[in-house]
Structure 1
């Protein structure tokens, strides 16, 4: 059961960042805009489950980190539908060591956001292979088994993802 602290914390985030959160998620839904209210609600529900909201140093960054996880879980759920590829879990987090410097935090957030945009451009199978391998440490054999692909196809999708990410990230810099 959420405490008053939790509800106040979430209410403040809704007031300050609610519209930006909706825009952030809407840009990344790529044609699945009908799911936007559910995703926004899931973000706030997850925030209500935080054991101690006072330990969060950057509420805005935390909000968007949760939003990224919700969005990727949503993509994975879509990908596991009968007409799509079976996927397990979300994208790798870029661990930016930005300390307490707000400028570094904003820069790190922008890099992270750019990385997720690049990953969002990948085809579903390629995305699935990349996430399972890089985020969850699945072996190529495990990915092949889980997604019903050959080992060679897993290698191909992984290589395509890495090349795409490298090219796009190099172009951004």
Structure 2
């Protein structure tokens, strides 16, 4: 394992830093994640090409990092949009609390779906982004984006039905 780091560590750092662009400070953390994943592998001898395997892991780590980075601002933006559209006039405090709790419940509910499905829902419904553009951003087909969106919408619908049934 140490030999893999000695042989490919410097190149891997450059690879990660180049793909992170503005977030190059995340490169050491991602590099650590790559090597942790490599350590979790039980049979290192079965790897025919350690460099290719290492870069495959790095690509997956970068993709997950990009999804997390794209996912976090979208959640914050969704919350900000919800508060922007709340009326400024006198609001019944009980209604305001109930609305805030409903948003929290929906947000927790959305955590149960895949990050890609959640991001697709936010980009499509909150930002009005076309499905083809979302597909390009996620690196998947338009048909897959439609599946993500359908999954997210069904999840939200079912969750809202459960909430309605729980209320007296």
TM-score with structure 2 length normalisation? 0.51
Structure 2 unaligned regions, length at least 5: 78-113, 118-132, 154-168
Match of 1:83, SS state, is helix
Alignment match, 1:88 = 116
Structure 1 unaligned regions, length at least 5: 1-9, 90-122, 149-173
The structure with the largest alpha-carbon Rg is 2
Distance, in Å, in 2 between the alignment partners of 1:59 and 1:12 is 10
2:116/2:148 contact within 8 Å kept: no
TM-score with structure 1 length normalisation? 0.50
Residue among 35, 48, 66 paired with 1:44: 35
2:13/2:31 contact within 8 Å kept: yes
1:56/1:62 contact within 8 Å kept: yes
Are 1:75 and 2:85 counterparts?
Answer: no
Alignment match, 1:126 = 136
Distance, in Å, in 2 between the alignment partners of 1:147 and 1:74 is 21
Distance, in Å, in 2 between the alignment partners of 1:22 and 1:12 is 15
Matched residue count: 101
Hey, which bits of structure 1, 4+ residues long, moved more than 4 A? 84-87
Q: Quickly say closer, same or farther: Cα 1:41–1:87, change in 2 above 3 A.
A: same
